[in-house]
Structures are given as C-alpha cells and as structure tokens.
Amino acid sequence: MTVKAIQHPLIQHKLALMREKGISSKDFRELASEVGNLLTYEATRDLPTETVKIESWNGKTLNTQKIKGKKITVVPILRAGLGMLDGVLRLIPNAKISVVGLYRDEETLQPVAYFDKVVKDTKQRTALIVDPMLATGGTLIATIDLLKEKGCKKIMGLFLVAAPEGLQAVQEAHPDVDIYTAAIDDKLNDKGYILPGLGDAGDKIFGTK
Ligand code: URA
C-alpha cells in the first residue's frame, strides 16, 4: 500500500481553515469539496493513458493521449463521503457513482453494509473511495472487502484526515490499496475521534450539530 500525505500548500491551507473552531457548515462543506477535488488531481496522476488519433481543428490528424480503459467509479461512503463527491466529479464528470453505507453491529462491533449500489462493471473500473475521515479503518476495510467481492481490482481511497491506527489496519488487511490523504494526524481518542482531527465531519457537512 502506498500512503500519500499530500503536502500541497492549497490543500494544507484549506485543511487549516477546516480545523478552526466555529467554522460554518457552508464553509466546511465547500472546503471538503475543494480538498476532495485537489486530492483527485493527485490520485489520478498515474492513470494509464493511450495514444488516440483525432481529427484536429484544422483537419489534420493528431496523436493525443486519452485515459485508457473503463475508467473510474467514485465510491462515497455514507454519509460524510457525499461531502467530497462533487469535488471529485468536477474533475471526472463521467465517473459512475457507487454508494456504500455501513453501520456498526452493536454486538460484534463490526461494520455491516446496510446499503450498496455498486456499478455493474466494477472489474473494468478503478474505484475511488471517498470519506473525510480514516479513523479506525473498520469502515474502509469493510468497503474494500465489498468492492473486491464484486470483482473490483484497482482501489484507491481519498481522505481529508487519516489516523496512524487506521492506516496500519488498512495496510494489514488490504496492502494493495493506495491511500491519498491531506493529513496524517496524531492518534485516535477513546471515542474513535481523530486528534487533532476535524471533529464530526458528517455533522459539519450536513449541519446536524
Ligand atoms: N469520524 C469523524 O467524523 N471524525 C473523526 O474524528 C472520526 C470519525
């Protein structure tokens, strides 16, 4: 697994704004989308391209580079992942969307999928999972399990903030998945929140607190 913490100044600046106490839901939502957009740019850097002949503006034939194959499905994890979705789609407007929702079983404490609507041609697509917070890694691991069961072969994850504990868990369970994050923070607290983190990203995006 490669973990890339993206040090771009725009990303760091926007993340700093998101960490401030009292940020409005509107600002948080806009910034989550903008950072999602910038992370997408980084994560798609190595997508394979192929040479395609086109007829150009003056009638001449030109060899150009286009992305090869069936391309991408974006996988927002409900509900907070929806806050990064439009930022991703602004760069990849033709991507198909596969939505996944999970809850935590109170007895086993394991994440269980209560909703999944995944594109049919997962085998030919790169999945770009989006979720603001990679905390314990449990939800991400379950989402990757689900996508692999459906035949998905290439999976990447985009996060605003990741905890070292979650990164390690994902590395152990799915060493073939690449992670792009705007920050790797210090640790989880005893409630599973990332420190210093962003607080509850879902509540901030949806204005439910
Ligand atoms: N989910 C959040 O919204 N915040 C955290 O810190 C961890 C999980």
Point out the ligand 1 atom lying closest to the alpha carbon of residue 200: 3
Q: Quote the distance between the C-alpha of residue 74 and its chain's center.
A: 8
For ligand 1, say whether the CB of 188 is within 6 Å of any of its atoms: no
ipTM: 0.96
Could you tell me the CA-to-CA distances from 85 to 48, 73, 76, 79, 149 in Å, in that order?
22, 11, 7, 11, 23
Q: Where are the beta strands (DSSP E) in the chain?
A: 3-5, 49-55, 61-67, 72-76, 96-97, 99-104, 111-117, 126-130, 133-134, 154-162, 178-184, 187-188, 194-195
Structure tokens given for 208: 């439910």
User: Which residue lies with its CA nearest to atom 4 of ligand 1?
Assistant: 200
The answer to whether the annotation marks 194 as part of a ligand binding site is: yes
**93: annotated binding-site residue?**
no
Angle, alpha carbons 171-175-179 (nearest 5°): 70
- C-alpha of 37 from chain center: 10
For each of the domains in the chain, give its residue range(s) and CATH number, in order of start: 3-206 (3.40.50.2020)
138 is known to lie in a ligand binding site: yes
User: Does 197 sit in the ligand 1 pocket, CB within 6 Å?
Assistant: yes
**Rg (Cα) of the chain, in Å, rounded?**
18
Look-up of token digits 């809850």? 103
106 secondary structure, DSSP code: T
pLDDT for the residue numbered 107: 84
pTM as predicted: 0.95
Tell me the average confidence (pLDDT) per consecutive run of 10 residues in the chain, 209 residues long. 95 98 98 98 94 98 92 96 98 96 88 96 95 97 98 97 98 98 97 97 96
Residue 106: its pLDDT value, please? 83
How far is it, in rounded angstroms, from Cα 4 to Cα 59? Answer: 42
Q: For residue 64, what are its two tokens?
A: 């150009």
For residue 135, the CA-to-ligand 1 centroid distance in Å is: 6
